[in-house]
C-alpha cells in the first residue's frame, strides 16, 4: 500500500524507545510509560542493535512474516531473560520504534524488518542505519527517519513523505513513494514510472563505479558518481536454506505459483547453514521447522532450475561464500545473494553484496535490480604481515580504527597497493568477508596474476586471458569520500576482539604469547576454527602450523578445552586429507567437522552451552548470544590454535611450543 503524502502519528498508537536502561523498556511494554525525545537523549538509546538481536537464528526458522513478528527482539537478553517476551511488540500497539546509531548491523536477514513491520511498526527512527538493513526497510515499505523527524511527529506535526526520502537517489525515492520494492517493480513494468538517467560527465572511476557502469541496462549512461541511481544487470547470485523459503514464498505471493526466474544457470541454492543444527540441544525443538525450510528450498530449486549445491548423504559441499568464490564469481561481475557475507566474493575482483529476501526475489525474477552508486574508501596496503599476524588481525585493526568511528559505513572498501601481492587469495577473502562487520556496502580487491591463476585452476574452460580482460582497477584520480588510507602491514599486531562486537579489538603482545594487560588472563573452554571467514585452505595451514608444532613437542589440546576445526568446503577438506593435516589434527585431539556454517550462527558443534563458558573463535561475529550464551572473543586462526594448547587466549609466536613440557597437555 502506498504511503500518504503527509505522514502523521496514528492516534492511539505508540512509540517504543529502545533505551540503554532496560527498566524503561519494560515500563513502556507494560503500558506504564510513554516517552518522547524530551525525556530521552540520543546517547541514552541503544546503539548497534544487530539483526541477531531482532530475529535470532531460531526465530528465522519461521518463514511467514506474521510468525516472525510474534518473536520480535527475542535476542535482546538482559540478566539471562528476554527483555521483549513473545508477542510483546506484536501486541504492544506500537507504530514507531526508536534507537541510536547503526541500527541493523550484522546479518542481512530481512526477517528483522519483517518482525517489526508485521508487529505494526511503520516508522523506524535511528541516528544511522547499516546499509543492508536500510535497504530491507525500504524494500518492505517501512519508513526510516532521524530523531528530528520524530520530535516533529510527536509534537503533532505532519511530515511530508518527501522528507523520509531525503538523501536517497531518485529510484530509491520512487520505491518509498510506491510503498516498497514489489509495488515499484510492478508499476515500472506497467510503464507508470519514468526513471531518470544519471547525467554524470565522464570522470575517473573507482572499481565499484566501473562495474556498476558496465552493468547499466541503459547504454546511454556515460559515467556514474556516488548518489546516482541505476538499473543494472545482475550476473548471478545464490540463497541458502535459511533464506530460500522466503524467496519462494514471496515470489508465489507476488507473481503466482507459475512464476519464473531469469538466467537460472547463473543462480544457485546452498544447504550449509543448518546442516548440523541437530547437534545443538537448544535447536532440536526446531528440527521440524528446519526440515520445512529444506523442503521449500528443494521446491524452489526444482521449480526454477537454479544450480543445486544441496547436501548429499548429509554432507554439504561447503559454505556458500567459499564455494561461490571457487566456482561462481569472476572478475568484473556484479553478484547478489541473501547473506551479508556475500561481500567475500570481492576477493575475486567482483562487486558482491548481500540483500534481503524481497530484493533477491525481485532480482531473480527480473534479471536486474536497482542500485544507488555507493561511496568508496580505499586502503593501500604496503609491506608484509609479520610471521605471527594474519589478515584476520588486519581486519580487527580496521574495525577498531576505521569502522568504529564510522569511516567505512555504507562505503565500498577497496584494497589496493603493493601489499596485496603479499596476501594469498584466501587471506584476501578474509578481508572482503569482514566488510559487512565494518557496516560497509562491500569490499573489493584489485586483481593480479594470483587472482586469475587461482580462479582458472578451479574453473574448467575458463582461460587466463578471459579473466584478465574482465578485471577492473581504479582509475588514477578516482575520488574516495572515505579517503585513501595507507596501512603498513608490518605494523599490524595480533588482535583480539572483546565479546559483544567485532570492533572492540585490542592488539595482543606477540613477544610473550600472552594477551595484553587489558584482556588479562582469559581462560577458555572452547577454541573454534571454521566459518566462511576462517575455514579456507590457508586457515587450515595456519591451524596446522601451530598444531604440528605442539604435537612435535608432545602436547595435546589442553585438558578442559574443546578445540574444533570445521572445513569451509569439500575442496578444503580434500586439501587437508591429501597433505596429512587430518592425521596431525587427530593426534592433537582436535575435533574435525565436515563443511558447514555451524557454530558461527549457533547451529552446530562449538556453541557455548552456558554463560560461564568462554570461547576464542576465528569466526566473523561475536554478538551476544550468536554462538551460544557464553562470552566469545574473536581472534586469528593462529591465536585460536595457540590458545587451544595453553588454555588461555594466547597470541602465537613461532617456536613457542618447542620446549614445552609434555605434562602441559592431557
pLDDT in tens, 200-228: 999 999 999 999 999 999 989 999 999 99
Could you give the CA distance from residue 117 to residue 96 in angstroms, rounded to a whole number? 10
482 within a domain of the structure (yes/no): yes
Question: Are 210 and 229 members of one domain?
Answer: yes
DSSP code of residue 557: S
pLDDT of residue 127 exceeding 70: yes
Q: Taking a C-beta distance cutoff of 8 angstroms, is the pair 208, 445 a contact?
A: no
Q: Are 555 and 483 contained in the same domain?
A: no
Percent of the chain with pLDDT over 70: 97
What is the predicted pLDDT for the residue at 517? 40
H-only helix segments in 261-412: 287-304, 320-327, 357-366, 391-398
In-domain check, residue 404? yes
> Are 140 and 37 within one domain?
yes
The pLDDT value recorded for residue 468 is 98
134: domain CATH number is 3.20.19.10
Q: Indicate the Cα dihedral angle 186, 211, 143, 159, nearest 10°.
A: -100
Same domain, 430 and 567: no
C-alpha cell at 150: 520524530
pLDDT per position as a tens digit, 321-357: 999 999 999 999 999 999 999 999 999 999 999 999 9
pLDDT greater than 80 at residue 421: yes
Q: Is residue 360 part of a domain?
A: yes
- The parent domain of residue 629 ranges over 494-666
pLDDT (average), residues 260-282:
94
Instruction: Give yes or no: residues 257 and 322 share one domain.
Output: yes
Does residue 372 share a domain with residue 389?
yes
Of 459, 476, 492, the one marking the end of a domain is 492
Per-residue pLDDT tens digits for 223-254: 999 999 999 999 999 999 999 999 999 999 99
Task: Give the pLDDT confidence score for residue 508 in this predicted structure.
Answer: 59
527 in the same domain as 437: no
- Which residues in 578-608 are b (16+ Cβ under 10 Å) and which e? eeebbebbeebbbebbbbbbbbbbbbbbbbb
Q: pLDDT tier at 518 (50, 70, 90 boundaries)?
A: low
Using DSSP, state whether 267 is helix, strand or coil. Answer: strand
The answer to whether residue 516 scores a pLDDT higher than 80 is no
User: Does residue 512 register a pLDDT over 50?
Assistant: no
Q: With respect to residue 510, please indicate whether it lies within any of the assigned structural domains.
A: yes
- Note whether 169 and 208 are same-domain residues: no
The closest alpha carbon to 349, from 266, 467, 456, belongs to 467
Q: What is the mean pLDDT of residues 600-610?
A: 92
**Cell output for 298:** 528443494
Instruction: Give residue 130's pLDDT band: very low, low, confident or very high (50, 70, 90).
Output: very high
Rounded to whole angstroms, how far apart are CA atoms 308 and 140?
Answer: 28
Q: Are residues 208 and 157 in the same domain?
A: no
Helix locations, 328-389, DSSP H: 357-366
Question: What is residue 31's three-state secondary structure?
Answer: coil
Q: How far apart are CA 53 and CA 162, in angstroms?
A: 31
The predicted pLDDT at position 229 comes to: 92
Q: What pLDDT is attached to residue 659?
A: 57
3-state secondary structure of 152: helix
- The CATH number of the domain holding residue 633 is 3.30.499.10
**212 and 288 fall within a common domain:** yes
Question: Mean pLDDT of all residues in the chain?
Answer: 93
pLDDT score at 363: 94
Q: Rounded to an integer, what distance in angstroms lies between the CA atom of residue 98 and that of residue 87?
A: 18
Q: How much is the average pLDDT of 480-497? A: 96
Residues of the chain with pLDDT > 90, as a percent, come to 87
Residue 511 and residue 465 share a domain: no
Contact 51, 357 (CB under 8 A): no
Contact 476, 370 (CB under 8 A): no
Residue 157: inside a domain, yes or no?
A: yes
Per-residue pLDDT reduced to its tens digit, 173-191: 999 999 999 999 889 888 8
Give the pairing of strands 631-634 and 562-566.
unpaired
Element (H, E) at 268: strand 267-270
Count: domains in the chain:
3
Distance between CA atoms of 491 and 496, rounded to whole angstroms?
Answer: 16
The torsion angles phi and psi of 433, rounded to 5 degrees, stand at -55, -45
pLDDT band of residue 663 (cuts 50, 70, 90) is very low
Tell me what the mean pLDDT of segment 292-318 comes to: 96
Residue with the bigger pLDDT between 53 and 624: it is 53
CA 629 to the chain's CA centroid: 20
Q: What is the dihedral of CA 440, 441, 447, 453, to 10 degrees?
A: 100
Sign of the CA dihedral running 182, 185, 187, 193: positive
Interhelix angle 244-255/357-366, rounded to 10 degrees, is: 60
Among 393, 332, 337, smallest CA distance to 639 is for 393
Q: Is 147 exposed, middle or buried (0-12, 13-18, 19+ CB in 10 A)?
A: middle
State which of 466, 492, 518 marks the end of a domain. 492
List the grid coordinates of 299: 521446491
Burial class (CB in 10 A: 0-12, 13-18, 19+), 303: middle
Q: Each residue of 625-655: pLDDT tens digit? A: 889 999 999 999 999 999 999 999 999 998 9
Report residue 664's pLDDT band, with 50, 70 and 90 as the boundaries.
very low
The answer as to whether 193 is a domain residue is: no
pLDDT at 106: 82
Positive/negative CA dihedral, 433, 437, 438, 442: positive
492, 525, 555 - which closes a domain: 492
Q: What is the pLDDT of residue 129?
A: 94
pLDDT of amino acid 666: 33
- The answer as to whether 543 is a domain residue is yes
Q: Say if pTM beats, i.e. exceeds, 0.95.
A: no
The answer to the question of residue 192 being in a domain is no
* 473 and 511 belong to one structural domain: no
Amino acid at each position: 500500500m502506498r504511503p500518504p503524502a503527509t505522514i502523521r502519528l496514528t492516534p492511539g498508537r505508540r512509540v517504543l524507545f529502545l533505551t540503554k536502561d532496560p527498566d524503561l523498556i519494560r515500563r513502556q511494554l507494560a503500558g506504564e510509560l510513554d516517552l518522547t525525545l524530551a525525556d530521552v537523549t540520543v546517547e541514552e538509546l541503544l546503539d548497534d542493535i544487530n539483526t541477531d538481536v531482532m530475529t535470532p537464528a531460531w526465530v528465522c526458522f519461521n518463514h511467514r512474516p506474521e510468525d516472525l513478528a510474534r518473536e520480535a527482539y527475542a535476542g535482546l537478553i538482559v540478566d539471562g531473560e528476554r527483555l521483549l517476551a513473545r508477542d510483546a511488540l506484536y501486541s504492544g500497539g506500537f507504530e514507531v520504534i526508536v534507537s541510536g546509531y547503526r541500527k541493523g548491523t550484522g546479518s542481512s536477514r530481512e526477517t528483522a524488518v519483517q518482525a517489526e513491520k508485521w508487529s505494526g511498526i511503520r516508522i523506524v527512527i535511528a541516528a544511522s542505519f547499516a546499509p543492508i538493513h536500510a535497504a530491507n526497510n525500504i524494500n518492505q515499505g517501512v519508513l526510516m527517519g532521524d530523531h528530528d523527524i520524530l520530535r516533529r511527529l510527536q509534537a503533532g506535526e505532519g511530515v511530508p513523505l518527501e522528507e523520509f526520502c531525503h538523501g536517497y537517489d531518485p529510484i530509491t525515492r520512487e520505491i518509498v513513494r510506491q510503498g516498497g520494492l514489489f509495488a515499484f517493480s510492478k508499476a515500472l513494468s506497467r510503464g507508470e514510472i519514468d526513471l531518470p538517467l544519471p547525467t554524470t560527465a565522464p570522470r575517473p572511476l573507482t572499481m565499484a563505479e566501473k562495474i556498476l557502469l558496465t552493468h547499466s541496462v541503459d547504454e546511454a549512461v556515460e559515467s556514474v558518481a556516488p548518489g546516482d541511481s541505476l538499473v543494472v544487470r545482475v550476473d548471478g547470485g545464490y540463497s541458502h536454506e535459511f533464506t530460500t523459503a522466503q524467496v519462494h514464498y514471496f515470489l508465489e505471493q507476488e507473481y503466482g505459483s507459475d512464476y519464473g526466474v531469469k538466467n537460472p544457470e547463473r543462480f544457485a541454492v546452498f544447504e550449509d547453514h543448518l546442516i548440523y543444527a541437530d547437534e545443538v540441544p537448544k535447536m532440536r525443538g526446531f528440527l521440524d521447522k528446519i526440515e520445512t525450510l529444506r523442503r521449500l528450498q528443494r521446491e524452489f530449486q526444482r521449480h526454477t532450475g537454479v544450480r543445486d549445491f544441496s547436501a548429499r548423504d548429509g554432507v554439504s559441499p561447503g559454505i556458500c561464500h567459499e564455494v561461490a568464490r571457487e566456482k561462481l564469481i569472476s572478475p568484473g561481475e556484479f553478484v547478489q545473494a541473501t547473506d551479508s557475507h556475500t561481500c567475500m566474493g570481492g576477493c575475486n575482483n567482483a562487486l558482491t553484496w548481500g540483500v534481503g529476501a524481497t530484493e533477491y526475489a525481485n532480482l531473480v525474477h527480473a534479471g536486474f535490480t536497482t542500485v544507488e552508486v555507493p561511496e568508496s574508501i580505499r586502503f593501500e596496503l604496503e609491506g608484509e604481515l609479520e610471521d605471527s599476524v594474519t589478515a584476520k588481525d588486519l581486519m580487527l585493526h580496521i574495525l577498531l580504527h576505521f569502522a568504529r568511528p564510522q569511516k567505512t559505513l555504507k562505503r565500498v572498501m577497496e584494497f589496493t597497493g603493493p601489499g596485496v601481492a603479499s596476501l594469498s587469495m584466501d587471506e584476501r577473502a578474509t578481508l572482503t568477508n569482514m566488510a559487512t562487520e565494518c557496516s560497509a556496502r562491500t569490499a573489493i580487491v584489485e586483481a593480479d596474476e594470483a587472482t586469475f591463476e587461482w580462479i582458472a585452476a578451479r574453473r574448467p574452460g575458463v582461460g587466463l586471458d578471459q579473466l584478465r580482460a574482465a578485471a577492473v582497477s581504479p582509475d588514477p584520480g578516482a575520488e574516495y569520500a572515505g579517503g585513501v588510507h595507507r596501512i603498513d602491514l608490518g605494523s599490524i599486531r595480533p588482535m583480539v576482539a572483546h565479546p559483544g562486537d567485532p570492533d572492540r579489538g585490542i592488539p595482543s603482545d606477540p613477544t610473550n604469547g600472552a594477551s595484553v594487560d587489558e584482556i588479562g588472563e582469559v581462560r577458555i573452554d572452547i577454541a573454534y576454527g571454521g566459518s566462511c571467514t576462517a575455514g579456507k585452505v590457508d586457515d587450515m595451514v595456519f591451524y596446522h602450523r601451530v598444531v604440528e608444532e605442539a604435537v612435535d613437542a608432545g602436547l595435546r589440546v589442553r585438558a578442559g578445552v574443546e578445540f574444533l576445526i570445521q572445513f569451509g568446503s569439500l575442496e578444503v577438506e580434500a586439501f587437508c586429507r591429501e597433505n596429512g593435516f587430518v592425521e596431525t589434527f587427530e593426534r592433537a585431539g582436535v575435533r574435525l567437522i565436515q563443511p558447514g556454517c555451524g557454530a558461527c550462527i549457533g547451529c552446530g558443534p562449538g556453541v557455548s552451552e552456558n554463560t560461564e563458558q568462554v570461547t576464542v573463535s576465528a569466526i566473523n561475529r561475536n554478538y551476544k548470544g550468536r554462538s551460544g550464551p557464553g562470552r566469545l572473543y574473536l581472534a586469528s586462526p593462529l591465536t585460536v590454535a595457540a590458545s587451544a594448547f595453553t588454555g588461555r587466549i594466547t597470541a602465537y609466536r613461532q617456536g613457542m611450543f618447542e620446549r614445552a613440557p609434555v605434562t602441559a597437555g592431557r
